[in-house]
């Protein structure tokens, strides 16, 4: 028993240090998530060169903004000549308010895990090469104000889950390949129709009770 005591004491000390310094030393989930994004992207202009996973947190990285608690609140990589794809790990940035990845050449799909970003205010993925559908999980983003997905290759309907986001002020999904009808209730009452234009398979505004919203989606 006497021999075990030092090991127990050492373990308790390590646990206390972790609890005291977290998230700086013992848990760098946000840094790991962003580094996973870096590895999934091609970066010919080296805009992500400062994203060093050996640092205690990502708050010193260029294009990353943190709050006073060293939690990531903004990632701004717009117009950065990036290609590659988004990663599900982005959903771990639970304090993120602004995800700015517009005007790149990002491909692949929008991860459904982005629906976990409960603090998100702005999701700007416009002017990329993103395909697949708009995840219905984005309807969980109850703080979302700006959703700009225009000028991509998105397919499928506009998720009706978005109707429940009362904070939503701007939705732009123009210049994609969406189908079905355009929502007209909730925040969509005030979204101009030209924010849906140039989707060849997208029907006009839905007539409640008279048309199913997935019309022309087969």
pTM over 0.75: yes
Query: Where are the alpha helices (H) located in the chain, listed in sequence order?
Result: 4-21, 29-40
What pLDDT, on a 0 to 100 scale, did the predictor assign at position 79? 98
pLDDT range class, residue 12, cuts 50, 70, 90: very low
- Per the CB < 8 A criterion, the answer to whether 187 and 165 are in contact is yes
What pLDDT, on a 0 to 100 scale, did the predictor assign at position 211? 52
What pLDDT, on a 0 to 100 scale, did the predictor assign at position 204? 82
**Main-chain phi, psi angles of 15, to 5 degrees:** -60, -40
**Residues 13-40: tens digit of each pLDDT:** 444 444 444 444 433 899 999 999 999 9
- CATH of residue 58's domain is 3.80.10.10
Nearest to 50 by CA among 42, 60, 65, 40: 60
In a domain, 169, yes or no: yes
What size, in residues, is the chain? 218
What is the rounded distance in angstroms from the CA atom of residue 107 to the CA atom of residue 198? 20
In a domain, 189, yes or no: yes
What pLDDT, on a 0 to 100 scale, did the predictor assign at position 10? 42
User: Six-digit token pair at 206?
Assistant: 């839905």
**Residues 112-141: tens digit of each pLDDT:** 999 999 999 999 999 999 999 999 999 999
In a domain, 20, yes or no: no
Domain of 146 in residue numbering reads as 29-205
- Per the CB < 8 A criterion, the answer to whether 142 and 161 are in contact is no
In the block, residue with structure tokens 């999934």: 40
In a domain, 10, yes or no: no
Tally of domains in the chain: 1
**Main-chain phi, psi angles of 66, to 5 degrees:** -120, 160
- Per the CB < 8 A criterion, the answer to whether 146 and 167 are in contact is no
């Amino acid at each position: 028993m006497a021999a075990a005591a030092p090991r127990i004491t050492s373990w308790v000390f390590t646990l206390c240090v972790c609890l005291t310094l977290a998230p700086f030393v013992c848990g760098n989930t946000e840094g790991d998530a962003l580094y996973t994004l870096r590895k999934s992207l091609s970066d010919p202009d080296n805009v992500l060169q400062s994203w060093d996973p050996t640092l205690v947190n990502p708050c010193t990285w260029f294009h990353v903004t943190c709050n006073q608690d060293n939690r990531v609140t903004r990632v701004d990589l717009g117009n950065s000549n990036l290609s590659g794809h988004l990663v599900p790990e982005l959903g771990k940035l639970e304090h993120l308010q602004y995800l700015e990845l517009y005007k790149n050449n990002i491909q692949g799909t929008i991860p459904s895990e982005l629906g976990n970003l409960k603090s998100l205010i702005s999701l700007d993925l416009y002017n990329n090469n993103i395909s697949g559908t708009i995840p219905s999980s984005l309807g969980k983003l109850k703080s979302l104000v700006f959703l700009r997905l225009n000028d991509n290759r998105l397919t499928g309907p506009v998720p009706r889950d978005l109707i429940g986001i009362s904070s939503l002020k701007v939705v732009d999904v123009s210049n994609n390949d969406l189908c079905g009808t355009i929502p007209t209730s909730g925040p969509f009452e005030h979204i101009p129709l030209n924010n849906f234009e140039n989707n060849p398979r997208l029907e006009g505004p839905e007539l409640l009770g008279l048309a199913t919203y997935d019309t022309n989606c087969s």
